[in-house]
Amino acid sequence: MTIAPPLLAFIGAGNMGRCLIGGLLANGYPATRIRAADADATQLAALNQSFPVATTTDNVQAASGADIVVLAVKPQQMRAVATALAPVLAARPSLVVSIAAGIATRDLARWLGTSSIVRAMPNTPALMRSGISGLYAAPGVGAAQRAQAENILRAVGLVVWVADEDLIDAITAVSGGGPAYFFLIMELMQSVAQKLGLTADQARTLVIQTASGAARMAREGGADVTVLRGRVTSAGGTTERALRVMQEAGLAEIFDRALTAAKARSAEMARQYGEE
């Protein structure tokens, strides 16, 4: 007898909820085993234009009977949403996967009345199924449930598990916000390239392909990025001079301060929303 896949309920049908659903369906997950809820009917309409899943504006209706509930709502909405779902989870315990930034599992457990919670921090390249997600499982989560949570996030990229929930704040700082850091660097390079005489199209093509190629070398080249940087940097050459300017300007300190500030803000959000 064939065992049906877990029934999934997505609470929140915004960008990340939609991309997870899209990734699951692309990997062969049956649409009949996915539900989605969102208070915004326009979000549901946009979802239905692409994916044939059941939708509703009623979170409780979507979560009732589900094996896994994926919380994909904004952090400031989480307490109200979770509190409303608590009776559903009391009637039928389910695994809860939260992708809300800055919401600690201890607070989710208090609001939901369950300890079967996995906290996930995906990033926006998940929209292209090229993301990476940090995952933390609360003590009440078993091996089978960990595998279920991982399968959901793997639909849109790679996953990294951490044993200490505080490390989710570090993941938020590094990979959660990381795409924006690279976009800023690319933006600056394009701007300077145009100042040096290249057209906007030339600058964009050169910068994007360089970034893509460098990322591929780092991923597939079999060497640490420090080694790869050294291979590009000839003594007395143009790259060495450019890197010296960056180092003298304190680039390493800037990144240290920036990522540390992002990590602190993630922890601050957990306290802020957990106490509300």
- Residue boundaries of the structural domains of the chain: 8-170, 178-266
Going by C-alpha positions, the residue among 84, 126, 94, 98 that lies closest to residue 6 is 94
Tell me the three-class secondary structure of 94-162, residue by residue: CEEEECCCCCCHHHHHHHHCCCCEEEEECCHHHHHCCEEEEEEECCCCCHHHHHHHHHHHHCCEEEEEC
Assigned CATH for 8-170: 3.40.50.720
Highest mean pLDDT among 78-92, 121-135, 198-212: 198-212
Topology of the domain comprising 178-266: ProC C-terminal domain-like fold (1.10.3730)
CB atoms inside a 10 Å sphere around CB 235: 5
The rounded distance, in Å, linking the Cα atoms of 173 and 254 is 14
pLDDT higher for 271 or 157? 157
pLDDT in tens, 30-60: 999 999 999 999 999 999 998 999 999 999 9
- In this structure, the chain runs to a length of 276
The pTM for the full model equals 0.90
> For 198-222, what is each residue's pLDDT tens digit?
999 999 999 999 999 999 999 998 9
